[in-house]
Amino acid sequence: MILERPPEAWAIYVLAHGAGAGMRHPFMESFAKALAAEGVATLRYEFPYMEKGARRIDAKPVLYARVREAVEKARDERLPIFAGGKSFGGRMTSEAQAAQPLPEMRGIAFAGFPLHPARKPGTGRADHLKGVSVPMLFMQGTRDELADLSLLKPIVAALPHATLHLIEGADHSLRKAIVELAETFAAWARPLAQRPSGESSSRASRSAGSR
């Protein structure tokens, strides 16, 4: 795991990698540095298959366990905790949260939610989001081939505690939008971080139950 903590950190983001590139990928490093400039610490980590250099992705219980391990490690920093990540890593984080709430979680942020494979539109990958009880931030490029916006927009709109931020002209890589990603994350996360611990998830749960 790689911890990057700026001197005046006000939150920590547990940052998971995409399916095909690990925690040292240039996107991950640049995103962590941009977040540090916003006062956000990051904890980058890798799923077991990536650590081993294997092509076969781990079974979901193994992936979820690694998400939980990373979140538990982040608790050592005694900062408000957020989690998520790039593409696949963000989705595994939200699936882990839906399966069993992650401790002290203030919110989940996606840098490109992979709603479906390229050129194969569908919404099945979003089914679990109804079971996520914390606020969510979807940061999506308008040219993302893994997220048809005509499908994603109504999904996010139906979630009582979700925010969609569109990045004009960006594709799924988001490589030219690093600063915008970091600034958007910080603006969304700061008010959540300032709430008493547990309030963001309890408010989200009440909102979900009232719909």
Cα distance between residue 8 and residue 30, in whole Å: 19
pLDDT, the chain, mean: 87
Cα distance between residue 137 and residue 165, in whole Å: 7
Question: pLDDT of 127-136, one tens digit each?
Answer: 999 999 999 9
Domain that holds residue 65: 2-210
- Evaluate if residue 10 carries a pLDDT over 80: yes
Cα distance between residue 29 and residue 26, in whole Å: 5
Q: Which of 47, 40, 39, 42 is nearest to 17 (CA)?
A: 47
DSSP letter assigned to residue 55: S
The 8 Å CB, 24+ separation contacts for 55-61 are 57/19, 60/92, 60/95
DSSP letter assigned to residue 83: E
CATH of the domain at 135: 3.40.50.1820
In three-state secondary structure terms, 78 is: coil
What mean pLDDT do residues 56-69 have? 91
Cα distance between residue 47 and residue 123, in whole Å: 24
Give percent of the chain above pLDDT 90.
64
pLDDT at 48: 86
pLDDT at 23: 75
The count of structural domains within the chain is 1
pLDDT at 198: 56
| 175-211 b/e (C-beta count within 10 Å ≥ 16 → b) | eebbebbbbbbbebbeebbeeeeeebbebbeeeeeee
Instruction: Band the pLDDT of 117: cuts 50, 70, 90.
Output: confident
Read out DSSP for 97-119?
HHHSPPTTEEEEEEES---S-TT
Q: Collect all residues with Cβ–Cβ distance below 8 Å to 163 and sequence separation of at least 6.
A: 135, 136, 137, 138, 156, 188
Question: pLDDT of 177-196, one tens digit each?
Answer: 899 999 999 999 999 998 87
CA atoms within 13 A on the CB side of 11: 30
Instruction: Band the pLDDT of 68: cuts 50, 70, 90.
Output: very high
Cα distance between residue 207 and residue 67, in whole Å: 26
DSSP letter assigned to residue 1: -
CA distances from 39 to 101, 120, 134, 182, 203 (A): 26, 38, 22, 10, 25
